[in-house]
Structure 1
Amino acid sequence: MVRGAAWLALLSASLLGGCSSQPPKQQEDLCLIFAEKPEWHTVAEDVSKRWGTPAFVPMAMMYQESSFRADARPPMRYFLGIIPYGRPSTAYGYAQVKDETWADYQRETGNNWSNRDNFDDALDFMGWYTSKTQKVNGISKWDAYNQYLNYHEGWGGFSRGSHLQKAWLLPVARKVDERSRRYSMQYKGCKDSLSSGWF
């Protein structure tokens, strides 16, 4: 009887752990995202305190990069439409970070055990990145439009104006900025409730 109860508890914990990496059901409203995943709100608050980036900016960027999928990757490329020959980059996880950029983050922060498919680590990475974007290129941490362009092109690419040569990219950055503004307005209305645990 006791053994059966222990097994049931272990199974329940495993199932709940598996569910925790699932994307939020309602992604258009930041309040609903954080209400569904209160642990994400705690992480977002911690990242904001550590790096000074408001929660709604990296969350809007993360939506664009992965739709909050832990195992997101660029699509596989196929030769003649049938023979797979690799992905266009090593980008992976919630924040779609390339191997070399993740290694830079780990080295600079000492977060050597971090993983790109862990939400906490991915959001902390985005806080680190937006903070460095401000230092390197002078972009406000509240400026989701130019933060996203830096995120996509890299600091050197942005400073060289590589984004200006990509007509498709600028509308994407505008969408990120619009989502960030919408998330910001939503968050203003529920932040206190979320923090108190009432929401």
Structure 2
Amino acid sequence: MSKLFRAMALVLLAASCGGGSGTAPRQLDNACMIVRERPEYLRAFKAVERKYGVPVHVQMATIYQESKFISDARPPFRYAAGVIPTGRLSSAYGYSQALDGTWDEYRQQTGKRTARRDRIRDATDFMGWYMVETQSRLGVPVSDARNQYLAYHEGRTGYARGSYRGKAWLVRVAGEVDARSDLYAQQLRSC
């Protein structure tokens, strides 16, 4: 076996071992089933709702869109020549898909130096912190899942500039987040 082939095989093997430990709940379309299967999620969501005022259903819809409730979710790899991994599309990671720089800002401002993006309590606290800052700086209510998601995805500066307006796919996705938030709110009232 040639050295090049062995090196490529090792790279592909290492890339394929990148996760799997952070499995999602089984029924992602049912908020009651999610919190029944993972009661620690509901405790984390409720803590953020008490601390920041962000409704549970808004948090859940955002996490669904960002990571499908997979704790170690990451963006896909970029490939050179279609086969050689050259890095990920962004530094987003975890339930909240927080970028490295924004996560560092959160940890610095909140004093939560040991916070981790793959822990639901930390990821939801990050989202609450981010959304309350968005409300403070841009006037977007924390209960407005659609516009909070647009600001979350584009960053506050991008949202303020209206960068999402040129992205029909993102406006569609924000509508889906809003609809899921409404669905989760309705479901949570009955469980």
- Per the normalisation by structure 1, the TM-score is 0.84
Distance 2:141 2:188 in 1: 19
Q: For residues 28 and 134 of structure 1, what CA distance do their matches in structure 2 show? A: 27
CA RMSD of the aligned region, Å? Answer: 1.3
Q: Contact conserved, 2:22 with 2:72, CA < 8 A, in 1?
A: no
Distance in 1 (CA, whole Å) between partners of 2:166 and 2:32 is: 36
Contact 2:72 2:94 in 1 (8 A): yes
1:100 maps to 2:91? no
Q: Which residue of 1 aligns with 2:124?
A: 123
- Answer yes or no: is the 8 Å Cα contact 2:140–2:148 preserved in 1: yes
The question of whether the paired residues in 1 share the 8 Å contact of 2:92 and 2:98 is answered with yes
Structure 2: gaps spanning 5 or more residues: 1-20
Q: What residue is the counterpart of 1:70 in the other structure?
A: 71
Structure 1 position 87 matched with structure 2 position 85: no
The residue identity in structure 1 corresponding to 2:26 is: K
1:168 is aligned to 2:173? no
1:41 Cα deviation after fit: 0.9
Normalising by structure 2, report the TM-score. Answer: 0.87
1:112 counterpart residue number: 113
Deviation string 1:73-124 (CA, Å, 9 cap, x unpaired) is: 1100111211111112100111101100001110111111100011110011
Distance 1:39 1:92 in 2: 20
For residues 1-199 of structure 1, the aligned pairs below 5 Å read 21-190=22-191
Q: Distance in 1 between matches of 2:165 and 2:152?
A: 14
Shift of 1:21: 4.4
* Kept in 1: contact 2:41–2:120 (CA 8 A): yes
Which whole-Å CA distance do the structure 2 matches of 1:57 and 1:154 have between them? 17
Task: Give CA deviations for 1:50-83 in whole Å, capped at 9, x if unaligned.
Answer: 0000011011010001111111111001112111
Rounded to whole Å, the distance in 2 between the matches of 1:140 and 1:27 is 25
Q: State the match for 1:17 in structure 2.
A: none
Q: Which amino acid aligns with 1:90?
A: S
Alpha-carbon distance in 1 for matches of 2:46, 2:108: 23
> Aligned residue pairs: how many?
172
Q: Distance in 2 between matches of 1:47 and 1:138?
A: 19
In 1, distance between residues paired with 2:114 and 2:130?
Answer: 18
Cα distance in 2 between the residues matched to 1:77 and 1:139: 34
Which portions of structure 1, spanning 4 or more consecutive aligned residues, are displaced by more than 4 angstroms?
A: none
Q: Which secondary structure state, in structure 1, belongs to the residue aligned with residue 87 of structure 2?
A: coil
- Offset at 1:22? 2.9
Q: Which runs of 5 or more residues in structure 1 are unaligned?
A: 1-19, 191-199
